[in-house]
Amino acid sequence: MSEYKGNEPSEIAYTAVANVTGGRNGHAVSHEPDLELDLDTPVAMGGKGNGTNPEQLFAIGWGACFQGALGLAGKELRIAGSKLAKSKVRTHVSIGPEGESFGIKAKIEVFVPDVDEETVAKLVDRTQELCPYSKATAGNVPTEVVVVDADPFE
């Protein structure tokens, strides 16, 4: 068995547990609250694309975590909550061949309307330091964080 050491939380507030069968072409179940998903390899990787894939789940989790940390960083930098409420995060998680298997890389686009670019850049830098997903991937996953001046959802 392997055990990896790193900076651990001082206490555990919550633990998500998921049961997965069948790998990329399988099924996943998590509880409290219940979440059940069929999994399928993306069409671009030879799958049928009839289910969710791990990269989508990672992008959703990281994006949600980053958005939450953005709020915390905004409070520290005294950015109005009404401005942060309009912020948007788009997270890309890409997968491709790396050596004998596969590797991932990420891109995070951050849009904060009505806040100057220099302040948003400071906000994003601090968010990277606070976000648990960003901390977990630092030095392991090539990540580009980009401040965008137009809504990435449009």
Q: Quick one: which H or E segment has residue 90? A: strand 88-98
pLDDT of residue 136: 93
Mean pLDDT, the chain, rounded, equals: 93
Name all domains of the chain by residue range, CATH numbers in brackets.
54-147 (3.30.300.20)
- Token pair, residue 138, equals 């630092």
Q: Exposed, middle or buried by CB within 10 Å (0-12, 13-18, 19+), for 39?
A: buried
Stated pTM of the model: 0.91
Burial class from Cβ neighbours inside 10 Å (0-12, 13-18, 19+) for residue 98 reads exposed
- Give me the pLDDT at residue 8, please: 83
User: Tens of pLDDT along 77-134?
Assistant: 999 999 999 999 999 999 999 999 999 999 999 999 999 999 999 999 999 999 999 9
Would you give the DSSP letter of residue 151?
-
**Cross-strand bridge partners of residue 10:** none
The two tokens of residue 145 are 């964080």
How far is Cα 13 from Cα 152, in angstroms, rounded to an integer? 32
pLDDT digits (tens, 9 = 90+) for 5-41: 677 888 999 999 999 999 999 999 999 889 999 999 9
Residue by residue, DSSP assigns 13-63 as: S----EEEESGGGSEEEETTTTEEEEB---GGGTS---SB-HHHHHHHHHH
Share of the chain above pLDDT 90, in %: 87
Q: Read off the pLDDT band of 2 (50, 70, 90).
A: low
